[in-house]
Chains A and B, each alone.
Chain A
Amino acid sequence: GAVVSQHPSRVICKSGTSVKIECRSLDFQATTMFWYRQFPKQSLMLMATSNEGSKATYEQGVEKDKFLINHASLTLSTLTVTSAHPEDSSFYICRTGSGGADTQYFGPGTRLTVL
């Protein structure tokens, strides 16, 4: 099956810094990437949908200037949390899958802790 990698797996940063999370599809071309956020004991919340070569589509309530998404190639999408604050501490997960696929491939997730 398809493999999606995510880096870093864990990151601890100071408030006010920016953090970049990378999501790579290792053996297929990912034209679409979904970014989710999950707070403890809560479900995955869709943040945005990125398409290769175009601007990301953000869900209602997600600040596009704070969560910058870049999908410049078919194998790499990045999420940058700018000026991170403690309330941004969460588990961030990317997911991809072709339009007709019955399965969807998640990255292993990134645990962000903002002090």
Chain B
Amino acid sequence: GQNIDQPTEMTATEGAIVQINCTYQTSGFNGLFWYQQHAGEAPTFLSYNVLDGLEEKGRFSSFLSRSKGYSYLLLKELQMKDSASYLCAVRDNTGGFKTIFGAGTRLFVKA
């Protein structure tokens, strides 16, 4: 089966940097996604990692280590609008391609 763990909540200050960690166990790893979700809205795509290493995209970066079953999302120069839930999701190719979501990390950005 699959298991995805990420912290429930985090708080950070505007302008700072925050790292949201995600660990996973899956039998047929085929990529890891990070999504941002504001309350009452659908998730929006942030990043996709399938190979080890760091992917940088503006203020957001995502890292993957497949051997450790570990990823993190790094948010720089935090803004108030970054307050949202951040979902780690793993695509598994066992029995067909499925994307399984973690419970999400609620990030609160304070002034």
Contact = CB atoms under 8 A, between A and B. Distances in A.
A109 B103 contact: no
B18 to A, nearest CB: 20
Given A44-B43, A108-B41, A102 B31 contact: yes
A52 B44 CA distance: 24
Contact of A106 (B43, B96, B102, B103): B43
A108 B44 CA distance: 10
Given A44-B87, A108-B41, A103 B48 contact: yes
A106 to B, nearest CB: 4
B25 to A, nearest CB: 16
Nearest to B99: A104
B63 interface: no
Interface in A33-58: 34, 36, 41-46, 49, 57
Given A44-B87, A111-B40, A103 B45 contact: yes
Contacts of A43: 87, 101-104
Contacts of A21: none
Contacts of B43: 44, 93, 106
Interface string A98-115: 010011101111010000
Interface size bracket, A side: 20 to 34
B111 to A, nearest CB: 24
A1 B14 CA distance: 30
B98 interface: yes
A93 B42 contact: yes
Interface string B21-55: 00000000001010000001111110010100000
B100 interface: yes
